[in-house]
Amino acid sequence: MRFKKQKRHRKTVRFFCVCFGFRQPFKVLCDGTFVHHLLHNDLTPADKALSNCLSAPVKLFTTSCVLAELKKLGVAQSASFQAALKLAIARCDHEKVVSADACIAEVIGENNSEHFFVATQDADLRKKLQKVPNVPLIFGLRNALFLEQPSKFQRDFVKSSEEKRLHLTEKEYKALEKRTTSVSANADEEDSGDEEGLGHHNPGLQPHNTRNYSGKERDVKDRVRFKRKKAKAPNPLSVKKKKSHENPNRASGKEVKGDDGNGENKRKRKRSRRGKTVAGADV
């Protein structure tokens, strides 16, 4: 279960990094409810818990309005107030203190230019920020932290923006149309000039290529023609030599004609004989 959750979180982080340009270390904007949840469930240190959730280093931020709200709550939230003082303070530009959710919504704005991850336990604030295209949301559930998947509005926004990139804008279309008309006009002028120059020559001496190229055809380059590779003979050094099939009778020995005079070649056989001694040879 933990492996599936981490895989889902990595996929969501990759979505916001690729589509909206989030970069490490990630900046997390925390409100008072989230700080209280971390302390209550002993998820400390907070930066380590959030870095484990996002699988990346993080920097924690809060606002002066959030600190003022925690201070107003008194002794009940004194521990949360002391913990929130250790976080970096994001600039909110409020002369008068406003509520924490209104302050965070104003800091995020319409585009979330600072690329904040918003960590809150306020369900209404999360539902409101889901309608902002590039705001990833973090919340806690008991002793675990979760990163919300992109909402349908955020996915549709990314899909529509990708489709717009594929098509030309009105300004680009007008510039392209203006350029094509000027190029075609110049090509027509060159064609007319070439026809006037050829009119003074002898009509009997015409060039071999009599095709009239239009302006667009002149701009297009000829297609590259590739030569087909022909089959070559095999390497003689890698080919096995052929065996010579000779007559075994002619392999060794001398050729001698037979006694019968038929002209057949026969192999001469040599026989070695030992001399015998005969008793009583002298009479």
Q: Give tens-digit pLDDT for 197-230.
A: 554 444 444 444 445 555 545 544 555 566 777 7
Amino acid at 266: K
Between 207 and 143, the more confident residue is 143
Between 25 and 1, the more confident residue is 25
Q: Say whether pLDDT at 250 is over 70.
A: no
Q: How confident is the model at residue 193 (pLDDT cuts 50, 70, 90)?
A: low
For 215, the token pair is: 């302006």
Residues near 93 by Cβ (< 8 Å), separated by ≥ 6? none
**Cis bond before residue 133 (omega within 30° of 0):** no
Specify the residue for token string 């902002």.
Answer: 132
Strand residues in 167-269 grouped as ranges (E): 256-257, 265-266
Per-residue burial over 150-160, b if 16 or more Cβ lie within 10 Å, else e, is: bbeebeebbee
- Mean of the per-residue pLDDT values for the chain? 79
Measured on CA atoms in the order 81, 83, 84, 88, is the torsion positive or negative?
Answer: positive
Cβ–Cβ under 8 Å, residues 117 and 9:
no
Distance CA 9, CA 56 (A): 11
Average the pLDDT over 109-113 and give the result: 89
Q: Which CATH superfamily is domain 1-170 in?
A: 5'-nuclease (3.40.50.1010)
pLDDT for res 121? 94
Strand partners, 65: none
For 11, the token pair is: 């996929």
| Highest mean pLDDT of the ranges 4-18, 173-187, 262-276 | 4-18
Between 241 and 31, the more confident residue is 31
- Whole-model pTM: value is 0.59
Between 50 and 44, the more confident residue is 50
Average the pLDDT over 151-163 and give the result: 89
Residues near 264 by Cβ (< 8 Å), separated by ≥ 6? 257, 258
Which one, of 93, 94, 99, lies nearest residue 120 by Cα? 99
Between 40 and 263, the more confident residue is 40
Distance CA 222, CA 283 (A): 119
Where along the chain do its domains lie? 1-170
Average the pLDDT over 80-97 and give the result: 90
Question: Degrees (nearest 5) of the Cα angle 6, 7, 12?
Answer: 95
Separation of CA 154 from chain center: 23
